[in-house]
Amino acid sequence: MKKQKKFFLGVTVVLFLVFLSACGGGSSETSSDGNTEETYKLTMNVAYPPSKVDDDVLMNGTKRFAELVEERTDGRVKVDVFYSNQLVPQDQLLDALKTGTVDFGYSGPQYYGDTIPTAFFTNLPFFGKDIDHMMSLIREKGIDKIVDEEMKANGVKLLFYGPTGEYGLMGKKPIRSIDDIKGMSLRAAGGLWTPWYESLGASPVNVAAAEIYEALQRGTVDAVPYPFYTLNDYSYHEVVDSITTPGVIPSAVTASFMSLKTWNKLPEDIQNVITEVSQEIELENVEKYRLVQEKALQFAKENGVEVIELSDEEYNRFVQSSQVVWDEFAKMNDNTKKIVEIMREDME
């Protein structure tokens, strides 16, 4: 009887140790030189389906990121990438990162603006005239530090940004002047934009992303603010007659996030690798953006879509009209106020 009890006790202890090992996210492994090193198997939840090509911003920030981290840690870190929200729904990603249920996340920052108000900055109209100006505001003027501070307060570390393509007005009716907006129906782009639309005499219409093609085809909306590369990728050139540049936003923005809980568990040398790889990926993403942008405009011209370039005067009128959105954003908290101050100081 005593032997039987000892047997069950032994089994219980073994199972408990296995459970702890499974929950820890790391395991010990002896290298060829006899040293024991901790290895880490981490997860990444991506909000989007995988791209058809491997060299765009999305795959660079997910698949290539995971490959580089594994390579430069000599296999000590392996990141399993799950696309299309396989691990958690998009609206639950922040909570999953905070608790460490998921180690990395890839999504649009503005999607979490209700929890992290500063993240809305990526959706502010005309916060940069082009990609270089936008990245300068983020990385050189200090916007990134303000956003990161708020992210960390919510248990999340922002690793890098992924600009995916110029986000501008495209539709059936040409927009050569701010006056052309009056009377138009435009796809709504978030609550902060509503007062701006109304001040321009436009009507915001709620249209799901999956319904944009049909909405343009049927005339439910006259124009939509959306990435220009979708003219080709989603065949919007079939229902769009013109696009207007510069875009309302220099680029639609995605970003890579990491659980602060996971980050703090990692040794310093692995943290350094992740930081180094993140910086490289972001620089590569900017260059990939340029290629996407060039191809999008060329595709438009070759497929009968007029590319309208705003004069400096008209562009400035658009910027001034959008200040109502900036004002609403600034009211959200002290951090959003600081971001608007940086942007306006840069305009002077």
pLDDT at 36: 58
Q: Round to whole Å and give the CA distance between 255 and 249.
A: 16
Q: Round to whole Å and give the CA distance between 277 and 279.
A: 5
Contacts of 101 (CB under 8 A, 6+ apart): 87, 88, 95
Task: Answer yes or no: are the C-beta atoms of 137 and 343 closer than 8 Å.
Answer: yes
In 3D space, the residue among 260, 281, 280, 284 whose CA is nearest the CA of residue 271 turns out to be 260
192 residue type, one letter? L
| 81: phi then psi, degrees, rounded to nearest 5 | -100, 130
Q: How long, in residues, is the chain?
A: 348
pLDDT at 31: 45
Task: Answer yes or no: are the C-beta atoms of 336 and 122 closer than 8 Å.
Answer: no
Using CA atoms in the order 170, 174, 176, 180, what is the torsion angle rounded to 10 degrees?
-100
Token couple for 10: 């032994």
pLDDT at 191: 81
* pLDDT, mean of each 10-residue run, the chain (348 residues): 42 35 44 65 96 87 98 98 96 97 96 94 93 96 96 98 95 96 92 92 92 95 95 95 96 96 98 98 96 95 97 96 96 98 91
Residue 88, Cα to own-chain centre: how many angstroms?
17
DSSP assigned state of 106? E
DSSP assigned state of 38? E
